[in-house]
């Protein structure tokens, strides 16, 4: 691998100092003159007709400036992939927590008091909470679709029946995953303000400013360009800040009140009415040859959409086939259905359907390995896809270090010494994963990114682009790329958060695209700035641009540093000579991915990422408590731009995965979420976690900037299966339902064969 | 109902009239403009709002401002002395313990209180000492490293208030 001077080196995050001093401004730290505070009234019923709403008492409360209901608004629909929701409910509510009215008042307490004064008369309707019930004949229709099926994806490739006939071993099982919240600490929020010219300014965090404004524009009767989104610092997102319906509510409130409105969700609202992960029921059948090679796979998926679609259709599309490019599958089939229920709508969360399905597939493979008497690592190595191959769905693997990930994870975890050899109640489990770095199918017109790099008269640079750093650190990686190209220090680079009226178009932070795609554009913009810089310098220095070098902020004729001029000087000169325009590098990057066909065949991403995780667990046979005592996560990331940042992505993603696997679940009864606080919704705390050990497996990708690929989502994908497989190794029982909370594990252990290991059971 | 109180925040004394139900976090953030203290859950369950009250870490969303009357409050803004960062702030930066940063002020102040009581904690003690502070970004690995790296350094012994009196 070529060496770089800044890329791949330990560089301190640009924003770390301000954050450590408490100086960083998040949305909740901002206010505008005359600003009001918004609150939302939500339905207590999972399914009901709104007979009437009486807002008079709320309106007459001192300090209340506006009360808005669905009937005050034009019936425009809102929705990311399917426009199936109203900004505020008009006649029907479809989940407990649905937005029914909103208030703007001089302070939050008054707004809250006003909510209590609004009288809504409901006529309660029969509701459905289970997917099977929702699809049954005669079930109440939640939307006007057959059997409440919101969307369906069917995949059929290769001869699945023949594969099963030829198989030596066929395994079959049902796996279920639960609804979990993204758990960012900084709740969804915004400040909306209408400008004199009728346009709308929104200060707020979204992972995709340009897409969010496109989606919301029609619902408030504007063109996207009339909405200006300005992003403050962001306290996490993980998918949960892609869909920001709250912004639309704040916008209509601000219009009604004629004043700017700040609206911050309470954590209770986050947990009861956010856009949590889509829970799946996965019926999985796989056939294996005697040597462990996979012959066929057949999957049935039911996905619990909740009451509205949000990102659900995209999630089931991923769930239906993404994991198939991990191994050499000769034949796969999948039928995935997204089902409306009268529950909180679900949406995007790190992994986007992939962690759920990897849980099923990687668990079943482990059981097959035990049945066949093959080491679980070996069965994966035998099936693993390789660089240069085209997978069953047409994915072109220009780089792939899956084998290497497996080997390094084995070494680091002492797999050979420990697997099935640990004392009672202890075990080791492995799981692998594949992911994309962006996905052309997610935004059809464009799968690229763009960026502008402006050189400043002090020798620094300013980057603007439509990409988003919600905390993961890609902005520092961008600064490293610019620093690398221009020969300036990373801390001389300022990265501006997106402002849709200033930044060039971008798709934002989703699909693990920020390093691979966003970074691709940043590098090209920096190169363009460098080219312009050399041209300018060549005029000043009287030598041709290709005789010039840049080092330590100086541009000079090769071999003659003394004769050089500083970048600052050249940049300043360029401003005057260019009559103000100066050096402005432009970059656009498109990875050359392709739109899949109707059957989901096509090379949807410019590169693909792989990983292998090994978990070591301790299971308390009495209480059923599972403790992860060691965790190794080897990731094929092409190249780490900022190694500590990459490690941080892995550590954080694994931690979220451990929460998903062992403790987190939004528990609902009759459609109402019961755990509305962080004591009952259990995000892992420091004592719950081991010292997660990331391994960066670096093999340059030919397309990615400096060889880099995406890393945002991958770390969560293999976690549930790695832990389930470790528990299986420890106690001989494989758990197929998440989360593996102590009660569930204890119950499963109570019913097991006393033999323990090597188990074939499942619970 | 309002009540007059005196808050000593980061060595500065403030006389305020506050409603009796108003929480310390709101007074710090909204009345004193000290927005470095973060408000996450507002229910005492995430630790983002941690400040030091007479040197002890507390969730300021659970403390009423009137309860802090006459006491010493240290927020993240008060940790650096004459522009020089506290050792914990430095190690958090150096070890890559900060991602979105929303948990950071509370995390650093909890760590500060922990080290004041136990200058040389073990890794387990650090994890337990920070059990009330959630971080969703980092998996705590680098946070624990940063606290261990800061432990044992001279400026961590004793609470800031004690030092001021020395
Ligand atoms: S905001 Fe106080 S503990 Fe969460
Ligand atoms: S850094 Fe984001 S919550 Fe800790």
Q: Which of A89-98, A646-655, A690-699, A742-751 has the lowest mean pLDDT?
A: A742-751
Best to test chain B binding among A10, A14, A18, A20 (most B CBs inside 10 Å): A20
List, for residues B43-76, the tens digit of each pLDDT value.
Answer: 999 999 999 999 999 999 999 999 999 999 999 9
Q: Does residue A263 surpass a pLDDT of 90?
A: yes
Confidence of residue A577 (pLDDT cuts 50, 70, 90): confident
Domains A16-24+448-589 and A31-125+186-235+241-273 share a fold: no
Say if residue A739 is preceded by a cis peptide, omega within 30 of 0. Answer: yes
Locate the ligand 1 atom nearest the alpha carbon of residue B60 and give its number.
Answer: 2
Q: Determine what percent of chain A is predicted with pLDDT higher than 70.
A: 98
Q: Given B37, B80, B136, which is nearest A683 (Cβ)?
A: B136
Residues 6+ apart with CB under 8 A from A164: A170, A285, A287, A295, A296, A298
Element of type H or E holding A655: helix A643-662
Give the angle subtended at the CA of B151 by the CAs of A682 and B52, to the nearest 5°. 60
Best to test chain A binding among B2, B100, B125 (most A CBs inside 10 Å): B100
Domain ranges of chain A: 16-24+448-589, 31-125+186-235+241-273, 280-440+597-749
Output b/e per residue, B136-166; b: 16+ Cβ within 10 A: bbbbbbbbbbbbbbbbeeeebebbbbeeeee
| CA-closest candidate to residue A275, choices A219, A206, A336, A321 | A206
Report the C-alpha gap between A437 and A537 in whole angstroms.
37
Average pLDDT over residues A181-199: 98
Per-residue model confidence (pLDDT) at position A1: 65
Average pLDDT, rounded, for chain A = 96
Distance from CA of A15 to the nearest CA of B (A): 9
Smallest-distance ligand from the CA of A185: 2
Task: Quote the pTM value.
Answer: 0.96
Say if residue A318 is preceded by a cis peptide, omega within 30 of 0. Answer: no
Task: Give the pairing of strands B2-9 and B72-74.
Answer: parallel
B21 → chain A, closest CA residue: A109
Report the C-alpha gap between A336 and A448 in whole angstroms.
29
Give the angle subtended at the CA of A402 by the CAs of A400 and A407, to the nearest 5°. 140
Which residues in chain B have their CB less than 8 angstroms from residue A22's CB?
A: 34-37, 75-77, 104-105
Rounded to a whole number of angstroms, the CA Rg of chain A reads 27
Confidence of residue A762 (pLDDT cuts 50, 70, 90): low
Average pLDDT over residues A314-328: 98
- What does the longest C-alpha to C-alpha distance in chain A come to? 85
Report in angstroms the alpha-carbon separations of A155 from A135, A499, A567, B45: 21, 40, 55, 44
| CA-closest candidate to residue A344, choices A310, A302, A320 | A310
Q: Does residue A410 surpass a pLDDT of 70?
A: yes
Report the C-alpha gap between A491 and A222 in whole angstroms.
39
* Fold of the domain built from segment(s) B2-78: Ubiquitin-like (UB roll) (3.10.20)
Residue A673, Cβ density class (10 Å: 0-12 exposed, 13-18 middle, ≥19 buried): buried
Report the C-alpha gap between A710 and A456 in whole angstroms.
30
Confidence of residue A752 (pLDDT cuts 50, 70, 90): low
Residue A50, Cβ density class (10 Å: 0-12 exposed, 13-18 middle, ≥19 buried): buried
Average pLDDT over residues B15-25: 97
Locate the ligand 2 atom nearest the alpha carbon of residue A184 and give its number.
Answer: 3
Residue B108 and residue A20: Cβ atoms within 8 Å?
yes
Average pLDDT over residues A593-619: 97
CATH superfamily of A31-125+186-235+241-273: Aldehyde oxidase/xanthine dehydrogenase, a/b hammerhead (3.90.1170.50)
List, for residues A60-86, the tens digit of each pLDDT value.
Answer: 999 999 999 999 999 999 999 999 999
- The strand pairing partners of A40, in sequence order, are A102
**ipTM confidence:** 0.96
Per-residue model confidence (pLDDT) at position A286: 98
Any alpha helices (H) in A274-353, and if so which ranges?
A: 312-321
A687, B127 contact by CB (below 8 A): yes
Residues 6+ apart with CB under 8 A from A62: A110
- What does the longest C-alpha to C-alpha distance in chain B come to? 47
Per-residue model confidence (pLDDT) at position A122: 98
Provide the sign of the torsion angle of the four alpha carbons A39, A44, A45, A46, taken in this order.
Answer: positive
Ligand 1 contact, B49 CB (< 6 A) = yes
Confidence of residue B161 (pLDDT cuts 50, 70, 90): very low
Q: Does residue A48 surpass a pLDDT of 70?
A: yes
Per-residue model confidence (pLDDT) at position A279: 98
Confidence of residue A205 (pLDDT cuts 50, 70, 90): very high
Helix (H, G, I), strand (E, B) or coil at A244: coil
State the architecture of A16-24+448-589 in CATH terms. 2-Layer Sandwich (3.30)
A615, A429 contact by CB (below 8 A): yes
Interface size A-B, in CB pairs within 8 Å, comes to 176
A694 vs B82, residue with greater confidence: A694
Residue B2, Cβ density class (10 Å: 0-12 exposed, 13-18 middle, ≥19 buried): exposed
Best to test chain A binding among B96, B130, B149 (most A CBs inside 10 Å): B96
Per-residue model confidence (pLDDT) at position B157: 52
Domain ranges of chain B: 2-78, 87-157
Q: Identify the residue whose tokens are 């692998």.
A: A432
Average pLDDT over residues A231-236: 97
Element counts in chain A: helices (H) and strands (E): 19, 32
Q: Does residue A709 surpass a pLDDT of 90?
A: yes
A483, A462 contact by CB (below 8 A): no
Per-residue model confidence (pLDDT) at position A370: 97
Could you tell me which CATH class the domain A280-440+597-749 is placed in?
alpha beta
Q: Does residue A415 surpass a pLDDT of 60?
A: yes
Ligand 1 contact, B46 CB (< 6 A) = yes
Which residues in chain B have their CB less than 8 angstroms from residue A187's CB?
A: 40
List, for residues A220-232, the tens digit of each pLDDT value.
Answer: 999 999 999 999 9
For A577, list phi and psi in degrees, rounded to 5: -65, -35
Report the C-alpha gap between A151 and A312 in whole angstroms.
8
Per-residue model confidence (pLDDT) at position B154: 66
Residue B1, Cβ density class (10 Å: 0-12 exposed, 13-18 middle, ≥19 buried): exposed
Locate the ligand 1 atom nearest the alpha carbon of residue B39 and give its number.
Answer: 1
Residue B99 and residue A22: Cβ atoms within 8 Å?
no
A205, A173 contact by CB (below 8 A): no
CATH superfamily of B87-157: [2Fe-2S]-binding domain (1.10.150.120)
Per-residue model confidence (pLDDT) at position A59: 98
Residue A112, Cβ density class (10 Å: 0-12 exposed, 13-18 middle, ≥19 buried): middle
Confidence of residue A756 (pLDDT cuts 50, 70, 90): very low
Residues 6+ apart with CB under 8 A from A344: A95, A96, A97, A179, A272, A273, A274, A276, A306, A307, A666, A668, A673
List, for residues A509-547, the tens digit of each pLDDT value.
Answer: 999 999 999 999 999 999 999 999 999 999 999 999 999
Residue A300, Cβ density class (10 Å: 0-12 exposed, 13-18 middle, ≥19 buried): middle
Q: Does residue B156 surpass a pLDDT of 70?
A: no
Confidence of residue A285 (pLDDT cuts 50, 70, 90): very high
Residue A471 and residue B123: Cβ atoms within 8 Å?
no
Average pLDDT over residues A389-394: 98
Q: Given phi > 0 = left and psi -120 to 50 = alpha, else beta, which region is B42?
A: left
Average pLDDT over residues B128-139: 98
Residue B99 and residue A652: Cβ atoms within 8 Å?
yes
């Amino acid at each position: 691998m070529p060496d770089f001077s800044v890329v791949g080196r330990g560089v301190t995050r640009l924003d770390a100092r301000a954050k450590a001093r408490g100086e960083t401004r998040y949305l909740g730290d901002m206010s505008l003159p005359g600003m009001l505070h918004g609150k939302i009234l939500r339905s207590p019923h999972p399914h009901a007709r709104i007979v009437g709403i009486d807002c008079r008492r709320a309106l007459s409360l001192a300090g209340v400036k506006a009360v808005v209901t669905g009937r005050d608004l034009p019936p425009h629909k809102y929705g990311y992939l399917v426009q199936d929701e109203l900004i505020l409910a008009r006649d029907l509510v479809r989940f407990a927590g649905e937005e029914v009215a909103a208030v703007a008042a001089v302070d939050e307490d008054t707004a809250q008091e006003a909510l209590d004064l609004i009288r809504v008369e409901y006529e309660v309707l029969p509701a459905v909470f289970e997917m099977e019930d929702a699809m049954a004949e005669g079930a109440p229709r939640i939307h006007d679709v057959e059997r409440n099926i919101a969307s369906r994806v069917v995949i059929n490739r290769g001869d699945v029946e023949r594969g099963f006939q030829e198989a030596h071993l066929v395994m079959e099982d049902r796996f279920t995953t639960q609804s979990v919240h993204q758990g960012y600490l900084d709740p969804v929020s915004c400040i909306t303000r209408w400008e004199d010219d009728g346009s709308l300014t929104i200060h707020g965090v979204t992972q995709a400013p340009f897409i969010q404004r496109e989606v919301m524009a029609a619902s408030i009767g504007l063109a996207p360009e009339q909405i200006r989104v300005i992003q403050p610092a962001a306290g996490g997102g993980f998918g949960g800040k892609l869909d920001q319906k709250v912004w639309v509510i704040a916008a209509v409130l601000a219009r009604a009140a004629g004043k700017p409105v700040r609206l911050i969700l309470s954590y209770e609202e986050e947990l009861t009415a956010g856009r949590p992960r889509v829970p799946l029921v996965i019926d999985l059948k796989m056939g294996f040859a005697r040597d462990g090679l996979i012959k066929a796979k057949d999957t049935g998926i039911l996905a619990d959409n909740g009451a509205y679609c949000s990102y659900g259709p995209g999630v089931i599309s991923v769930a239906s086939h993404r994991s198939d490019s991990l191994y050499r599958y000769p034949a796969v089939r999948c039928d995935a259905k997204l089902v409306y229920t009268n529950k909180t709508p679900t949406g995007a969360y790190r992994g986007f359907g992939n962690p759920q399905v990897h849980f099923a597939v990687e668990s079943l493979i482990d059981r097959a390995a035990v049945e066949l008497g093959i080491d679980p690592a070996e069965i994966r190595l035998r099936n693993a896809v390789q660089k240069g191959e085209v997978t069953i769905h047409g994915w072109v693997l220009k780089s792939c270090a899956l084998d290497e990930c497996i080997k390094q994870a084995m070494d680091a975890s002492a797999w050979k010494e420990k697997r099935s050899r640990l004392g009672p109640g202890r075990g080791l489990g492995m799981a692998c994963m594949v992911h994309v770095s962006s996905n052309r199918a997610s935004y059809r017109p464009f799968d690229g990114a763009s960026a502008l790099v402006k050189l400043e008269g002090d020798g620094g640079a300013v980057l603007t682009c439509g990409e988003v750093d919600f905390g993961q650190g890609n902005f520092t990686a961008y600064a490293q790329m610019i620093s690398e190209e221009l020969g300036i220090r990373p801390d001389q680079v300022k990265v501006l958060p997106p402002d849709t009226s200033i930044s060039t178009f971008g798709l934002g932070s989703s699909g693990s695209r920020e390093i691979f795609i966003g970074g691709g554009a940043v590098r090209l913009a920096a190169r363009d700035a460098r080219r312009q810089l050399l041209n300018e310098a060549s005029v000043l220095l009287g030598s041709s641009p290709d005789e010039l070098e840049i080092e330590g902020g100086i541009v000079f004729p090769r071999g003659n540093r003394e004769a050089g001029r500083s970048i600052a000087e050249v940049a300043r000169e360029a401003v005057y000579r260019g009559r103000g325009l100066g050096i402005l590098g432009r970059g656009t990057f498109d990875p050359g991915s392709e739109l899949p066909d109707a059957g989901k065949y096509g090379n949807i991403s410019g590169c693909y990422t792989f990983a292998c995780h090994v978990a070591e667990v301790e299971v308390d046979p009495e209480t059923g408590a599972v403790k992860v005592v060691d965790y190794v996560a080897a990731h094929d990331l092409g190249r780490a731009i900022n190694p500590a940042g990459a490690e941080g992505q892995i550590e954080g993603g694994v931690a979220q995965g451990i929460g998903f696997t062992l403790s987190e679940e939004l528990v609902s009864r009759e459609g109402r979420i019961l755990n509305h606080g962080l004591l009952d919704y259990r995000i892992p705390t420091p004592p719950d976690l081991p010292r997660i050990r990331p391994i960066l497996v670096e093999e340059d990708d030919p397309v990615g900037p400096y060889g880099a690929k995406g890393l945002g989502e991958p770390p969560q994908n293999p976690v549930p299966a790695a832990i389930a497989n470790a528990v299986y190794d420890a106690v001989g029982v494989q758990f197929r339902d998440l989360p593996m909370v102590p009660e569930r594990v204890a119950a499963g252990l109570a019913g097991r064969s006393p033999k323990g290991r090597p188990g074939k059971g499942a619970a | 109902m309002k009540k007059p109180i005196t808050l000593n925040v980061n060595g500065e004394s403030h006389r305020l009239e506050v409603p009796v139900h108003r929480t310390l976090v709101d007074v710090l953030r909204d009345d004193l403009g000290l927005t470095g203290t973060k408000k996450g859950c507002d229910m005492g369950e995430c630790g983002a709002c941690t400040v030091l009250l007479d040197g002890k870490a507390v969730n300021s969303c659970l403390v009423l401002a009137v309860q802090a009357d006459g006491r010493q409050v240290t927020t993240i803004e008060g940790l650096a002395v004459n522009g020089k960062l506290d050792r914990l702030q430095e190690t958090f930066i150096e070890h890559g313990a900060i991602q979105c940063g929303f948990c950071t002020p509370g995390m650093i102040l909890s760590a500060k209180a922990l080290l004041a009581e136990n200058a040389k904690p073990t890794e387990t003690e650090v994890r337990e000492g920070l059990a009330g502070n959630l971080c969703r970004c980092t998996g705590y690995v680098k946070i624990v490293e940063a606290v261990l790296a800061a432990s044992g350094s001279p400026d961590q012994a004793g609470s800031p208030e004690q030092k001021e009196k020395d």
